[in-house]
Structure 1
Amino acid sequence: MTLVINCQEENMASAQKIMVIRHGEKPQGAVPPYGVTVDGEQDVNSLLVAGWTRAGALAVLFAPSRGALQSPELAQPQTVFAASDDAGKSSKRPEETVSVVAQKLKLQVDTTYSVGQEQQLAAAAMSCTGVVLIGWEHKHIPLIANAILGNTSAPQTWPGDRFDVVWVFDLNATSDAYQLTQVCELLLPGDSPEPIPVISS
């Protein structure tokens, strides 16, 4: 059962900050290393062990137990969304990735929206109050960005090998528009310090 927290009915921009991440590391088909569920069962639609490791590190990134957040652009979420797994028929990875931080903060993950419903998801996220965290499938994250920004100024391709970036959308109270900042996670070995580039067409 899903639950929307701190969100309004109207499609008005009120969320101060929306943070979007790609799910953690995934298996490459039905070959080792395998994806595993939270119970340790082999599952092609779940995260690799490395992905679960990232999920745990993200909980500390967004909700540190001691001290300040690693980046001033980040904030502790009050609402968490993830792509629906369509009753077990598609990827569980977005929800798995945000589940650890949600559990730490005693929040329920809202899985109302599926991949392909990025416009509806963006509208719901923008209507929330406070800070929102979204876990999604990488090929469709630019569509979320376009809906939030109202333009295509964000990178329009999320590289298949990047699991290590947070896209942060901050609401400008004066213009009632969002501005995108990229925060490199730098959580696991091999994480890049470089943002995802905008590729000119």
Structure 2
Amino acid sequence: MADKIMIVRHGEKPEKDEDIHGVNPEGEHDKNELSTSGWQRSGALIRFFNPLHGQFIHPALAKPNAVFAAAPSGHIQSERSHHTVKAVAESLGLKVNLKHTKGDERKLAEEAMTTHGVVLIAWEHKSIIDLANVILGNDRSSPQKWPDSRFDLVWVLDRQLHPTSWKLTQVAQMLLPNDSPKLL
């Protein structure tokens, strides 16, 4: 069983009203990809979740031994969740589990909760709420809205003494210049 599940929103994405584009790993414009800021966050997350000397910026954080991300599917072809944590997984010698798609939060939560150790999940912000509600077992233990403008938070869910009881801690990443220390 998982002792800890850490959830991040995928990195920054293209903006509709501005001239900020998504860029694929080959450097080509791609609306389903991370923006350049999203790629910067992806790189910065490597040492955030896998620090060189084991010194995490917050005591709630831990080195993951399993990494999940939303897989592209049907009408949602976004690679943002996958590319946000792919480099973290590679730095730990892991592969990203892409078995679940947006809308599959219950099955993802069930698999994450039964995975041994520490789990990291990158997901779409509106569906992170659903994911957390399944793990926490209610909709009162976490915020029920994730602001569209926030890419810089980690929700850390720690298993409590009772095996079905979890506690939420929020951690501000503070990795990029516009990151905020404000929690939800």
Give the TM-score category using the shorter length: over 0.9
What letter corresponds to residue 45 of structure 1 in structure 2?
A: N
Output the aligned Cα RMSD.
Answer: 1.5
**1:89-104 correspondence runs (5 A):** 89-104=76-91
Q: 67, 71, 75: which one pairs with 2:62?
A: 75
**1:21-36 correspondence runs (5 A):** 21-29=8-16, 32-36=19-23
In structure 2, the partner of 1:168 is: 156
In structure 2, the partner of 1:63 is: 50
Deviates more, 1:86-95 or 1:137-146: 86-95
Identical pairs, percent: 47
Query: Structure 2 unaligned runs (5+)?
Result: none
Q: Does 1:192 align with 2:180?
A: yes
1:28 Cα deviation from its structure 2 partner: 1.7
What letter corresponds to residue 153 of structure 2 in structure 1?
A: V
Whether contact under 8 Å (1:37, 1:46) holds in the other structure is: yes
C-alpha change, 1:175 and 1:82, in structure 2 (3 Å) is closer
What letter corresponds to residue 194 of structure 1 in structure 2?
A: K
Q: Deviations over 1:27-65 (max 9, x none)?
A: 024962211111212100000110000011111100012
In structure 1, the partner of 2:113 is: 126
Q: Distance in 1 between matches of 2:17 and 2:98?
A: 26
Q: Distance in 2 between matches of 1:30 and 1:165?
A: 24
1:69 Cα deviation from its structure 2 partner: 1.1
1:88 Cα deviation from its structure 2 partner: 8.6
In structure 2, the partner of 1:44 is: 31
Partner of 1:126: helix, strand, or coil? helix
What letter corresponds to residue 38 of structure 1 in structure 2?
A: P
Deviates more, 1:168-177 or 1:73-82: 168-177
Query: Structure 1 unaligned runs (5+)?
Result: 1-13, 197-201
In structure 2, the partner of 1:16 is: 3
In structure 1, the partner of 2:166 is: 178
* Runs of 4+ with deviation above 6 angstroms: none
Alignment TM-score, normalising by the size of structure 1: 0.87
